[in-house]
Amino acid sequence: MLIKKNIHVTYPKSEKVYISGGINNIKVGMRRIELSDTIMVSDDGDPAGRKSNNPVILYDTSGPYSDPRMTINVTTGIPRIRAEWYGRRKDLAHLKKYSSEYMRNQADTATKENFPVQHLPQRAREGKNITQMFYAKRRIITPEMEYVAIRENQQIEALGLKSFITPEFIRKEVAAGHAVIPANINHPETEPMIIGKKFLVKVNAVIDDTPKGINSIIEKVVWGCKWGCDTLSEQLTKGEIHNIREWILRNSPVPVTSVPIYQALAKVDGNIENLSWNIYKDTLIEQAEQGIDIMVIHAAMLKKHIELTHTRLTNIVSSASSIMQQWMQLHHEENFLYTHFAEICEILKNYDVTLCLGEGLRPGSIYDANDAALFSELQTMGKLTSFAWDQYVQVINEGSGHVPINKTRDYAKEQQYACHNAPICSFEMLTCDVAPGYDHIVATVGAAQIGWYGTAMINSVTPKEHLTLSDKEDMRNGIIASKIAAHIADVAKEHPGAQVRDNALSKARFEERWNDQFNLSLDPERAEQYYTNK
């Protein structure tokens, strides 16, 4: 297959700009939208000159793809910007080979679609801890912390606005466990971002199994980042999983999430009975050394919780949790992700992988919302969160599912309390069950509300979420719908500068500066398309 090597994206009237750090040698990529002048009119209706409008600077997830000055070759990967930040650190060990048994066995199985460039992994030196939480607790402001402070503020100081989000505030939130910076030491391509309820609500997009090859995968990465996804979640369950993930990681400017149980199951040809801790452990090491930033691990669902689901309408709907449920029933043993949790934390902290505790018993219907099974699992999630923090592992907790709006506040409060205010990520937030084909709209309603109540990240839900795998256009609709929900939540919780873009667009609309209105929108091309075709 001929792989497209050079890919760029554009935004109308936008320029890529870089903001330098004041503490560390960093340059933060932002997007500046130039606005046209306001035409002044006298009381008599005659032209009375022009008044310039300040440009609007936006948080930018598109990485180097929106910089026309950058030469990008997807077969070698995007720039590894964080590599120079820790090039002189003495707490890292440079490995001469991969540690996982699976990778050692794959050494001689190269194909023409394998990623051409190999980067050997790094990990913490013996006796050292390298996580962002570890540094934060020692009052060290890392380059990653300063980077996200600059991104979050979007240069609103230039407009005379104030913000409480400083590098020191970032450090305190990470130290307290109230926010995470997903930044695996082996994914230096990623541009640091932060997940926490005191920051901009983030959006995750899913890359699932696809038969269309590497070009299709890279396209989803690039276009997902253009439309505004803050993280990408690979949910690959078959085929060349490791190789496809390598293409994603080496070309992704945003953190990448995985659900390791999927690949572990693929290694035993889908036979759940043959799953074991050793296979799963090897998969964790493989993915950590490859560069996965966030791992979703369903360690809090126990045998006693499953017994509480028998009165449910939709039982257990999480795919990963269904796997573990069947494993426990086949082996008559406790969840091995729970019994080996200490070892999991030991692995993750060696690479600064952020742990996402999967909510295995999230409701699959509004009938099952806020039931005893769900709240019992939340208590275990809280205990595991505390244990992981003791190892300086960064933690986020998965949440939501199908929850009607009258139960959303109670759910959000209970989860934040049970999990000690660790960041909550809603990987699905559907407020009713009667809208197949319009799931993105249903999810937007719930996501905006739960984001206001403190959920830190929401998952993009496509119109066909429960019907089929998503294509490029579905992915676009899902991400934009989720960006709308996230922005609604940011305005509601009065995040610093959240309303700057709204005010600029409203002024442009009132003054009939149509191009400015399009360019300031979340999907400029779609807005202009609808106006042109009216």
- pLDDT tens, residue by residue, 418-434: 999 999 999 788 999 99
> Which pTM was predicted?
0.96
> 331-361 burial, b if ≥16 CB within 10 A, otherwise e?
eeeebbbbebbeebbebbbbbbbbbbbbbbb
Question: What is the model's pLDDT at position 3?
Answer: 66
Please name the fold of domain 201-492. TIM Barrel (3.20.20)
Q: CA torsion 352→123→280→216, rounded to 10°?
A: 70
- Compute the distance between CA of residue 391 and CA of residue 361 in angstroms, rounded to an integer: 26
Residue in 165, 223, 156 with CA at minimum distance from that of residue 194: 165
- Compute the distance between CA of residue 286 and CA of residue 258 in angstroms, rounded to an integer: 12
User: Average pLDDT of the chain?
Assistant: 93
Question: What is the model's pLDDT at position 52?
Answer: 94
Mean pLDDT of 258-271: 97
| C-alpha neighbours within 13 Å on the C-beta side of residue 54 | 13
Whether residue 166 is predicted with pLDDT greater than 80 in this model: the reply is yes
Whether residue 54 is predicted with pLDDT greater than 70 in this model: the reply is yes
Question: What is the model's pLDDT at position 309?
Answer: 94
Coil, strand, or helix at residue 194? Answer: coil
C-beta atoms surrounding 15 within 10 Å:
15
C-beta atoms surrounding 92 within 10 Å:
16
Helix, strand, coil percent content, the chain, rounded in steps of 5: 40, 15, 45
- Spatial CB neighbours of 18, under 8 Å, sequence gap ≥ 6: 27, 28, 29, 30
Residues constituting the chain? 534
Question: What is the model's pLDDT at position 214?
Answer: 86
Residue in 276, 286, 38, 279 with CA at minimum distance from that of residue 186: 286
Radius of gyration for the chain, computed over Cα atoms and rounded to the nearest angstrom = 23
Q: Is 438 exposed, middle or buried (0-12, 13-18, 19+ CB in 10 A)?
A: middle
- Spatial CB neighbours of 168, under 8 Å, sequence gap ≥ 6: 141
Question: What is the model's pLDDT at position 113?
Answer: 74
Give the model confidence (pLDDT) of 56-107 as tens digits: 999 999 999 999 999 899 999 999 999 999 888 899 999 999 999 888 887 6
- Compute the distance between CA of residue 279 and CA of residue 10 in angstroms, rounded to an integer: 43
Q: Domain residues of the chain, as ranges?
A: 201-492, 499-534
Q: What is the DSSP code string of 30-53?
A: EEEE--PPEEEE-TTS-EEEEE--
Query: Do β-strands 424-430 and 395-402 pair in parallel, antiparallel, or remain unpaired?
Result: parallel
Least confident of 101-110, 176-185, 252-261: 101-110
Q: What is the DSSP code string of 223-234?
A: HHHHHT-SEEEE
pLDDT band (50, 70, 90) for residue 513 = very high
- Spatial CB neighbours of 451, under 8 Å, sequence gap ≥ 6: 201, 426, 458, 485, 486, 488, 489, 490, 492, 493
DSSP state of 4: P
Question: What is the model's pLDDT at position 2?
Answer: 59
Coil, strand, or helix at residue 354? Answer: strand
CB under 8 Å, gap of 24 or more: what pairs does 172-178 form?
172/136, 173/198, 174/132, 174/133, 174/136, 174/145, 174/394, 175/133, 175/136, 175/137, 176/421, 177/133, 177/385, 177/389, 177/394, 177/395, 177/420, 177/421, 177/422, 178/421, 178/422, 178/423
Sign of the CA dihedral 328, 331, 334, 339?
negative
Give the model confidence (pLDDT) of 471-493 as tens digits: 788 899 999 999 999 999 999 99
- Spatial CB neighbours of 428, under 8 Å, sequence gap ≥ 6: 362, 400, 401, 402, 443, 459, 461, 465
Give the model confidence (pLDDT) of 361-387 as tens digits: 999 999 999 999 999 999 999 999 999
